[in-house]
Amino acid sequence: MARIDLDLAHSYVPDPRTDEDYALLPLKFTFEDGGAYALLGPSGCGKTTLLNCISGLLRPSHGTIAFDGRDVTAATPQARNIAQVFQFPVIYDTMTVGENLAFPLRNRGVPEAQVRERVGRVAEMLDLSSTLDRRASGLAADAKQKISLGRGLVRHDVSAILFDEPLTVIDPQLKWQLRRKLKEIHHEFRLTLIYVTHDQTEALTFADQVVVMSRGKAVQVGPADALFERPAHTFVGHFIGSPGMNFLTGQWRDDAVELAGRHYTPTLTPSVEAALRAAGSFRIGVRPEYLHLAPERDAQAVPVRVERAQDIGTYWLLTGTVQEAGAQAGTLRARLGTEAASLRAGDTAWLSVFNRHTCYYVNEELVP
Ligand SMILES: Nc1ncnc2c1ncn2[C@@H]1O[C@H](COP(=O)(O)OP(=O)(O)OP(=O)(O)O)[C@@H](O)[C@H]1O
Ligand SMILES: [Mg+2]
């Protein structure tokens, strides 16, 4: 296993001029040896490009990649000793399941006894033991993808294992099992794993560190709770969570926060207060989980006009609009308990927007 240092940028066009010409903007990042990472972001943000730069399938147009301090920028995937699992199965249909699993080992001249031991172990982990002698060609897509995963996991001498949305073809129940399996395997073998997905649940359950990407940029790297509690950028607030973070525009006026024509005096650290004062205009971020119904006319609460309150099963989702001089100043979504059941469209609900979880953003960046 290896520590991977990136200091690179990539453009698919020969003579990049603007930021838009880059699939990956300049990025400096270290994947620590033995860490479990996810690259999370919407379609087209550069996840596969980054993964392929790490594996060596793609040479970055700018910069370098080092494994354990050794420059591998020009090295092939084979020389980098990387295992990669793709979105769709890559297996040999003419071989049996067992032969497929053994292939990466036999290819490297691993002694047969060791091959059998490793194949047996990986097959067991992935529930493939009973199919080892079967031809791979007859199997369903998800069984084939399990073989692909097994082929990625069978070698213990790789620098890192890279996964590019490997569970796309797997049905939801099995997906959940395999995700747990991968996590167990990571704990057992302490492999450096990098896992690409656009599914936040997948990223947050699998990885210790999630790299959130947007338009060729790593906007935040952190564990699940940091992404949830303190999104570094409004994009991360929107993208993580279900539904995502709420954002309202506030102004600093008369030593207070002005929001939709009302004045509030939330508890702020001196540095946040100074930043809001200097900015004049800013965004207030609050997660649906941290909004609560407050008494009518509560000094720290914001009145919203209820659009609907829906019973989602484990919670009620309230959607309401913040009104300013009769116009709509923003939408709030709140995850509430059964106290929301009596709310009707057109009612006014008072929501506690300001609390210790509330985040503030200037130019879309979190005020620390
Ligand atoms: N071979 C290529 N030639 C030119 N442009 C490319 C190539 N591959 C990707 N791109 C562009 O680079 C950007 C990043 O693409 P990339 O495939 O890395 O995104 P992604 O995050 O993996 O998306 P997805 O979730 O859809 O797989 C996109 O704008 C894409 O159109
Ligand atoms: Mg991709």
The finding on whether 198 has its CB within 6 A of some atom of ligand 1 is yes
Q: Which CATH class is domain 4-239?
A: alpha beta
- Which of 315, 322, 312 is closest to 348 using CA atoms? 322
| Residue 231: per-residue pLDDT | 98
pLDDT interval class at 149 (50, 70, 90): very high
* Cα–Cα distance, 223 to 130 (Å, whole number): 37
For residue 250, give every residue at least 6 positions away whose Cβ sits within 8 Å of its Cβ, in sequence order, or none.
257, 258, 259, 276, 281, 282, 283, 284
**What are the angstrom distances between the C-alpha of 201 and each of 194, 204, 241, 262, 334?**
15, 5, 9, 37, 20
Confidence (pTM): 0.92
Whole-number pLDDT of residue 257: 96
Give the pLDDT confidence score for residue 328 in this predicted structure. Answer: 73
Rounded CA gap, 259 and 354, in Å? 11
Q: Interior CA angle at 91 toward 100 and 134, to 5°?
A: 50
Per-residue pLDDT reduced to its tens digit, 260-311 = 999 999 999 999 999 999 999 999 999 999 999 999 999 889 999 999 999 9
Closest ligand 1 atom to 87 CA:
27
Note the ligand closest to the C-alpha atom of 23: 1
User: Is the Cβ atom of 244 under 6 angstroms away from ligand 1?
Assistant: no
**CATH of the domain spanning 246-366, picked from 3.40.50.720, 3.40.309.10, 2.40.270.10, 2.40.50.100:** 2.40.50.100
Please provide the average confidence, as pLDDT, over all residues in the chain. Answer: 94
DSSP β-bridge partners for residue 164: 196
According to the model, what pLDDT value does residue 177 have? 84
Q: Whose CA is nearest to atom 31 of ligand 1?
A: 44
- Residues 170-202: tens digit of each pLDDT: 888 888 888 888 888 888 888 899 999 999 999
Q: Which ligand is nearest to the CA of 52?
A: 1
**Which pLDDT belongs to residue 125?**
87
Tokens of 256: 């207070």
Identical fold for domains 4-239 and 246-366, yes or no, is: no
Strands (E), 102-172: 160-164
Rounded CA gap, 353 and 341, in Å? Answer: 20
212 lines ligand 1 (CB under 6 A): no
Structure tokens at 66: 């080092």
pLDDT for the residue numbered 366: 98
The yes-or-no verdict on residue 138 having pLDDT over 90 is: no
Walk across the sheet containing 70-71 and list its strands: 24-31, 4-10, 62-67, 70-71
Angle between helices 112-125 and 97-106 (to 10 degrees): 130
Domain ranges of the chain: 4-239, 246-366
CA of 50 to the centre of ligand 1 (A): 10
- pLDDT band, very low/low/confident/very high, at 62 (cuts 50, 70, 90): very high
- Which burial class, exposed, middle or buried, applies to 349 when counting CB atoms under 10 A from its CB (0-12, 13-18, 19+)? buried
